[in-house]
Amino acid sequence: MKLHHYDHDGRARFVTFCTHKKLQLLTNNCFRKKVTESIDWARHEFGLKLLGYVIMPEHIHMVIVPKEESRLGQIIGELKRLSAKKILAEIKNDSLLGKLSVERDGVKRLAFWQRRCYDHNCRSDEFVWQKVNYCHYNPVKRGLVRSPEKWEWSSYRWYYGYPNALLEMDVAGERSKPTC
Protein backbone atom coordinates (compact mmCIF):
# COMPACT_ATOMS: atom_id res chain seq x y z
CA MET A 1 0.00 0.00 0.00
CA LYS A 2 1.41 3.38 -0.98
CA LEU A 3 1.37 6.01 1.77
CA HIS A 4 0.48 9.53 0.68
CA HIS A 5 1.73 12.77 2.20
CA TYR A 6 -0.65 15.70 1.90
CA ASP A 7 1.78 18.50 1.22
CA HIS A 8 1.31 22.18 0.50
CA ASP A 9 -1.43 23.01 2.98
CA GLY A 10 0.54 24.97 5.61
CA ARG A 11 -0.67 22.85 8.53
CA ALA A 12 1.31 21.34 11.34
CA ARG A 13 2.18 17.68 10.83
CA PHE A 14 2.71 14.94 13.37
CA VAL A 15 5.51 12.78 11.96
CA THR A 16 6.87 9.44 13.17
CA PHE A 17 9.78 7.48 11.77
CA CYS A 18 11.44 4.33 13.08
CA THR A 19 14.85 2.75 13.15
CA HIS A 20 15.59 -0.23 10.93
CA LYS A 21 13.56 -3.22 12.14
CA LYS A 22 12.58 -1.06 15.12
CA LEU A 23 15.91 -1.91 16.74
CA GLN A 24 16.59 0.11 19.89
CA LEU A 25 19.46 2.02 18.30
CA LEU A 26 18.78 5.37 19.95
CA THR A 27 19.78 4.45 23.49
CA ASN A 28 23.20 6.02 23.02
CA ASN A 29 23.38 9.75 23.89
CA CYS A 30 25.95 10.31 21.16
CA PHE A 31 23.51 8.94 18.56
CA ARG A 32 20.63 10.96 20.01
CA LYS A 33 22.76 14.09 19.80
CA LYS A 34 23.42 13.38 16.11
CA VAL A 35 19.65 13.19 15.59
CA THR A 36 19.04 16.54 17.34
CA GLU A 37 21.80 18.11 15.23
CA SER A 38 20.12 16.74 12.10
CA ILE A 39 16.70 18.05 13.18
CA ASP A 40 18.22 21.48 13.73
CA TRP A 41 19.92 21.33 10.33
CA ALA A 42 16.60 20.42 8.65
CA ARG A 43 14.90 23.35 10.39
CA HIS A 44 17.36 25.78 8.87
CA GLU A 45 17.83 24.05 5.51
CA PHE A 46 14.10 23.71 4.75
CA GLY A 47 12.62 26.56 6.80
CA LEU A 48 10.87 23.98 8.93
CA LYS A 49 9.09 25.08 12.11
CA LEU A 50 9.57 22.70 15.02
CA LEU A 51 6.75 22.66 17.57
CA GLY A 52 7.63 19.50 19.49
CA TYR A 53 9.65 16.30 19.38
CA VAL A 54 10.79 13.27 21.29
CA ILE A 55 13.60 10.82 20.57
CA MET A 56 12.67 7.35 21.76
CA PRO A 57 14.92 4.23 21.68
CA GLU A 58 13.54 3.06 18.32
CA HIS A 59 11.56 5.96 16.88
CA ILE A 60 11.19 9.72 16.61
CA HIS A 61 8.03 11.81 16.89
CA MET A 62 7.98 15.41 15.69
CA VAL A 63 5.32 18.08 15.36
CA ILE A 64 6.46 20.31 12.52
CA VAL A 65 5.19 22.91 10.10
CA PRO A 66 6.90 22.61 6.73
CA LYS A 67 6.87 25.54 4.31
CA GLU A 68 3.86 25.28 2.01
CA GLU A 69 6.06 24.70 -1.03
CA SER A 70 8.02 21.93 0.72
CA ARG A 71 7.61 18.20 0.32
CA LEU A 72 7.53 16.39 3.64
CA GLY A 73 9.01 13.18 2.20
CA GLN A 74 12.07 15.08 0.96
CA ILE A 75 12.57 16.84 4.30
CA ILE A 76 12.31 13.67 6.39
CA GLY A 77 14.40 11.74 3.85
CA GLU A 78 17.23 14.27 4.09
CA LEU A 79 17.00 14.42 7.90
CA LYS A 80 17.21 10.62 8.06
CA ARG A 81 20.03 10.46 5.50
CA LEU A 82 22.15 13.01 7.37
CA SER A 83 21.57 11.51 10.83
CA ALA A 84 22.20 7.97 9.55
CA LYS A 85 25.45 9.02 7.92
CA LYS A 86 26.66 10.65 11.15
CA ILE A 87 25.58 7.73 13.36
CA LEU A 88 26.84 4.94 11.11
CA ALA A 89 30.27 6.61 11.05
CA GLU A 90 30.38 6.11 14.84
CA ILE A 91 29.35 2.44 14.94
CA LYS A 92 32.30 0.09 15.44
CA ASN A 93 30.37 -2.98 16.58
CA ASP A 94 30.44 -5.60 13.78
CA SER A 95 27.46 -7.45 15.25
CA LEU A 96 25.35 -4.28 15.16
CA LEU A 97 26.55 -3.44 11.65
CA GLY A 98 25.45 -6.92 10.58
CA LYS A 99 21.92 -6.23 11.87
CA LEU A 100 21.83 -3.05 9.79
CA SER A 101 23.06 -4.68 6.60
CA VAL A 102 20.46 -4.87 3.81
CA GLU A 103 20.41 -5.58 0.11
CA ARG A 104 18.38 -3.18 -1.99
CA ASP A 105 18.32 -3.34 -5.77
CA GLY A 106 21.18 -5.83 -5.70
CA VAL A 107 23.42 -3.51 -3.67
CA LYS A 108 24.50 -4.24 -0.09
CA ARG A 109 24.32 -1.24 2.21
CA LEU A 110 23.59 -0.23 5.78
CA ALA A 111 20.12 0.92 6.81
CA PHE A 112 19.72 2.87 10.03
CA TRP A 113 16.11 4.00 9.45
CA GLN A 114 13.05 2.32 8.02
CA ARG A 115 12.33 3.57 4.53
CA ARG A 116 9.07 5.39 5.18
CA CYS A 117 7.57 7.71 7.77
CA TYR A 118 4.06 8.14 9.10
CA ASP A 119 2.53 11.62 9.12
CA HIS A 120 -0.78 13.06 10.15
CA ASN A 121 -2.13 16.55 9.43
CA CYS A 122 -3.00 18.50 12.56
CA ARG A 123 -6.32 20.14 11.79
CA SER A 124 -6.61 22.34 14.89
CA ASP A 125 -4.45 24.03 17.51
CA GLU A 126 -5.91 21.66 20.08
CA PHE A 127 -4.73 18.67 18.05
CA VAL A 128 -1.25 20.22 17.66
CA TRP A 129 -0.89 20.56 21.45
CA GLN A 130 -2.33 17.08 21.96
CA LYS A 131 0.47 15.70 19.78
CA VAL A 132 3.15 17.85 21.49
CA ASN A 133 1.94 16.47 24.84
CA TYR A 134 1.99 12.97 23.37
CA CYS A 135 5.67 13.51 22.54
CA HIS A 136 6.44 14.73 26.06
CA TYR A 137 4.67 11.91 27.85
CA ASN A 138 5.76 9.07 25.55
CA PRO A 139 8.90 8.30 27.64
CA VAL A 140 6.77 8.27 30.82
CA LYS A 141 4.21 5.94 29.26
CA ARG A 142 7.02 3.60 28.17
CA GLY A 143 8.49 3.55 31.69
CA LEU A 144 11.78 5.18 30.66
CA VAL A 145 11.31 7.99 33.23
CA ARG A 146 8.79 8.87 35.93
CA SER A 147 8.12 12.40 34.73
CA PRO A 148 8.63 14.16 31.37
CA GLU A 149 11.22 16.66 32.64
CA LYS A 150 13.55 13.72 33.36
CA TRP A 151 13.71 12.84 29.63
CA GLU A 152 16.36 15.09 28.11
CA TRP A 153 15.49 14.09 24.53
CA SER A 154 12.23 15.98 24.01
CA SER A 155 10.91 19.51 23.66
CA TYR A 156 9.41 19.41 27.17
CA ARG A 157 12.45 21.12 28.71
CA TRP A 158 12.24 24.03 26.29
CA TYR A 159 8.55 24.63 27.00
CA TYR A 160 9.10 24.66 30.74
CA GLY A 161 12.17 26.90 30.67
CA TYR A 162 14.92 24.45 31.58
CA PRO A 163 18.32 25.99 30.76
CA ASN A 164 19.62 22.81 29.10
CA ALA A 165 16.95 22.32 26.42
CA LEU A 166 18.58 20.75 23.37
CA LEU A 167 16.51 22.43 20.66
CA GLU A 168 14.58 25.68 20.52
CA MET A 169 10.94 25.45 19.46
CA ASP A 170 9.35 27.67 16.83
CA VAL A 171 6.26 29.02 18.54
CA ALA A 172 4.93 32.55 18.18
CA GLY A 173 5.01 34.84 21.18
CA GLU A 174 5.80 33.61 24.67
CA ARG A 175 6.52 30.01 25.53
CA SER A 176 3.00 28.71 25.34
CA LYS A 177 2.99 25.60 27.47
CA PRO A 178 0.94 22.71 26.17
CA THR A 179 -1.70 21.58 28.64
CA CYS A 180 -2.13 18.01 29.73
Per-residue pLDDT tens digits for 35-52: 999 999 999 999 999 999
For residue 176, the model assigns a pLDDT of 56
The model's pTM is: 0.89
Residue range 123-138: mean pLDDT, rounded = 95
pLDDT, residue 5, reads 47
Q: Which residues contact 8 (CB under 8 A, 6 or more apart)?
A: 68, 69
The residue among 164 and 138 whose pLDDT is bigger is 138
* Nearest by Cα to 157 from 173, 141, 135: 135
Instruction: Please give the residue range of the domain that contains residue 49.
Output: 13-159
Strands 13-18, 59-65: pairing is antiparallel
Structural domain contains residue 114: yes
Domain contains 79: yes
Work out the average pLDDT over 86-101: 91
Q: Tell me if 6 is assigned to some domain.
A: no
Tally the domains of the chain: 1
Who wins on pLDDT, 61 or 123? 61
Q: Is residue 126 part of a domain?
A: yes
Look at residue 28 and tell me if it is in a domain.
yes
